[in-house]
């Protein structure tokens, strides 16, 4: 059986790193490329983080492309410290001085369009950060979404509860215009792992301890980059940790990747039109689910609601066995 072709767009923080490892460990998947976008940290840090993950997993042949350094409108706010200033917990000291030479000269948007055009209706695109690169791709090539097999997004919210802004999830809040464009103009099969979906299907802290204490290079890497990050600390204050991450261990981006790698991970979902709110001081970047179809939109998105956490756990365990 032919392998599923994956294109990963990421703002590589700690959970993105885990999600990339889920894809690399999946026997039925071939990762064509990784494209980088600002978000958890600067796009240059993201590029370095992706290269580090691929190196740890001994998959350095996968090409990495630099993408957008900021949102379509306004400037990039780099004040978030979810995963440290460098996106990987501010713990790694062995920075690669040659990293820029390892990044492809072709830009991320051009590479996306080229790779999908070369493999029409075969590529699954998994978007783990702000959707800026995707929005630019559809503006450069309006036929781009029609050439995709499917799109999986980690982002947005179902209940108007935000983790960066009062009513908006981090990835969408970082670039609301791009999120709006993607969910209006990408008419391919689209699947959404929202912030609440991830939180409501959290794994236990006991599982997390077992996960990172496996004897493999990938597990040791994950243990290192989570060691000082408050988002991965059971002892972090309830008011801070649980508002952003929920009560258990949640590897957010891994939920979107897991669903792409194994559709059986998702046990319940709803299909409805959606729209991203662009106005207001409180609701800008919020995802609205149009369950009553008042917008009269033809395109509908699959919004995940329940997860098989046992399958999810098995995929995460496999991802950290890389290099064994």
- Render pLDDT for 162-209 as a digit per residue (tens, 0 to 9): 888 889 999 999 999 999 999 999 999 999 999 999 999 999 999 999
Q: What is the pLDDT of residue 80?
A: 60
* 87-96, 211-220, 289-298, range with the lowest pLDDT: 87-96
Give the whole-angstrom CA distance, residue 321 versus residue 135.
35
Which structural domains are found in the chain, ordered by start?
A: 4-319 (3.90.245.10)
Q: What is the pLDDT of residue 94?
A: 74
Q: What are phi and psi of 85, to 5 degrees?
A: -70, -25
Give the whole-angstrom CA distance, residue 274 versus residue 176.
13
The full 3-state SS of 293-320, as one line of letters, equals CCCCCCCCEEEEEEECHHHHHHHHHHHC
**Which helix (H) or strand (E) covers residue 217, if one does?**
helix 217-226
Confidence of residue 242 (pLDDT cuts 50, 70, 90): low
Q: What is the pLDDT of residue 188?
A: 98
The partner residues of 8 in beta bridges, in order of sequence, read 34, 126
CB 68 within 8 A of CB 41: no
> Percent of the chain, pLDDT > 90?
80
What is the arithmetic mean of pLDDT over 32-52? 96
Q: What is the pLDDT of residue 3?
A: 93
Those residues whose C-beta lies under 8 Å from the C-beta of residue 73, and which sit 6 or more positions away, are 175, 177
pLDDT at 234 exceeding the cut of 80: no
The full 3-state SS of 262-291, as one line of letters, equals CHHHEEEEEEECEEECCCCCCCCCCEEECC
**Which helix (H) or strand (E) covers residue 193, if one does?**
strand 190-193
Give the whole-angstrom CA distance, residue 206 versus residue 215.
17
CB 193 within 8 A of CB 256: yes
pTM: 0.95
């Amino acid at each position: 059986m032919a392998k599923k072709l994956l294109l990963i767009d990421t703002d590589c923080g700690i959970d993105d790193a885990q999600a990339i490892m889920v894809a690399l460990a999946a026997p039925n998947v071939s990762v064509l490329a990784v494209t980088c976008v600002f978000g958890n940290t600067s796009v240059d840090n993201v590029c370095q983080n992706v290269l580090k993950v691929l190196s740890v997993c001994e998959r350095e042949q996968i090409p990495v492309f630099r993408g957008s350094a900021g949102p379509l409108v306004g400037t990039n706010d780099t004040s978030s410290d979810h995963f440290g200033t460098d996106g990987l917990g501010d713990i790694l000291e062995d920075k690669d001085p040659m990293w820029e030479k390892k990044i492809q000269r072709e830009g991320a948007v051009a590479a996306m369009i080229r790779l999908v055009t070369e493999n029409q209706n075969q590529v699954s695109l998994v978007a783990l950060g702000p959707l800026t690169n995707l929005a630019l791709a559809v503006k450069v090539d309006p036929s781009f979404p029609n050439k995709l097999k499917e799109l999986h997004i980690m982002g947005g919210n179902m209940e108007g509860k935000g983790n960066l802004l009062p009513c908006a999830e981090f990835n969408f809040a970082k670039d609301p215009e791009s999120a709006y464009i993607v969910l209006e103009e990408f008419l391919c099969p689209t699947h959404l792992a929202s912030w609440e979906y991830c939180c409501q299907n959290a794994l236990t802290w006991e599982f997390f301890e077992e996960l990172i204490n496996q004897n493999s290079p990938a597990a040791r890497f994950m243990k290192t980059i989570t060691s000082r990050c408050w988002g991965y600390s059971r002892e972090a204050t309830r008011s801070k940790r649980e508002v952003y991450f929920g009560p258990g261990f949640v590897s957010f981006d891994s939920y979107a990747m897991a669903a792409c790698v194994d559709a059986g991970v998702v046990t319940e979902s709803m299909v409805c039109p959606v729209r991203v709110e662009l106005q207001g001081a409180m609701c800008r970047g919020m995802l609205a689910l149009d369950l009553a179809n008042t917008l009269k939109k033809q395109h509908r998105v699959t919004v995940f609601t329940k997860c098989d956490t046992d399958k999810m756990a098995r995929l995460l365990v496999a991802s950290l066995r890389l290099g064994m």
